[in-house]
Structure formats: C-alpha cells, structure tokens
Amino acid sequence: MNDKLNARQKKFAEYYAQSGNATESAIKAGYSKKYANTNASKLLQNTTIVQYIKELSDKLKDERIMCAKDRQVTLSDIARNGEEETSDRIRAIDTLNKMTGEYTLKVDANVSAEVSKLDDLIKQMSVDDE
C-alpha cells in the first residue's frame, strides 16, 4: 500500500506516527513551513496515508509491548538487585512465581462412588433424625 505514496508522503506518515504532530511532521517531511498546516490537513484526509500511519503506529505499539520473557528478565533483575527495597524484591519474586505457575495447586483425585451406597447412607441419616 505504501508503494502508492511518494517519498514526502511516506516521510510525513513516518514522522506523524512517531510524534502525532501533523504540522511538525509536514515540515520535517519537506513541505513548506508557510503551508505546513494546510498540507498536513490534506495529507491526513488521504486514506492511503492514513492507512500507512495506522500500520506504522501498530508496528510501533507492538515493539513497545514487552513479551513474557522480557517481563521475567525485568522482574528477575529487580528480585536480584540488593539495592531495591525488600518489599519490591518480594513482590517481584511473587509475580514471577505466579507467571511461572509456582503457586498452582495440583490435586490428583481419583473419586469413584457407588450411587447405591450413597443412597443407603442418606436413608440411614434420615431414619436416625426421626
């Protein structure tokens, strides 16, 4: 899609995706300062440019989001750092334990019951209550 854009339009979209300032982006992309505001407004009405800006913004967001491994590394660094507050270190360890499933309660139960035995017990209890 961005192959339909000329070089200045691409630059505008790239600057805009980073800064969010249309006029400044138009100037940086090579449009005249005198008409930067007008040009920026027109550029933002171009659906091809808007789509390219959206693609760039989504890519930037994806790059900023930490993956699970990055979060674990950061938490591990906090937990190991002796200069951190003890409560912060404990919280980091606690969060790591939750992330890795250390707190998962594992229950292995093999339950089998005969319905007739259960019915007999219920009848006995009801007879005893009378």
Q: Which domains, and CATH codes, for the chain?
A: 2-64 (1.10.10.1400), 66-130 (no CATH)
Q: Is 81 helix (H, G, I), strand (E, B) or coil?
A: coil
To the question of pTM greater than 0.85 for the whole model, the response is no
Q: Which two tokens stand for residue 116?
A: 């007739």
What is d(CA 74, CA 92) in angstroms, rounded to the nearest whole number? 9
C-beta of residue 48 within 8 angstroms of C-beta of residue 1: yes
Q: Which two tokens stand for residue 28?
A: 């940086």
Exposed/middle/buried for residue 11 (C-beta within 10 Å: 0-12, 13-18, 19+): middle
30-89 confidence digits (pLDDT tens): 999 999 899 999 999 999 999 999 998 888 877 777 777 888 889 899 999 989 899 999
Q: Identity (one letter) of the amino acid at 76?
A: S
Residue 113 reports pLDDT greater than 60 = no
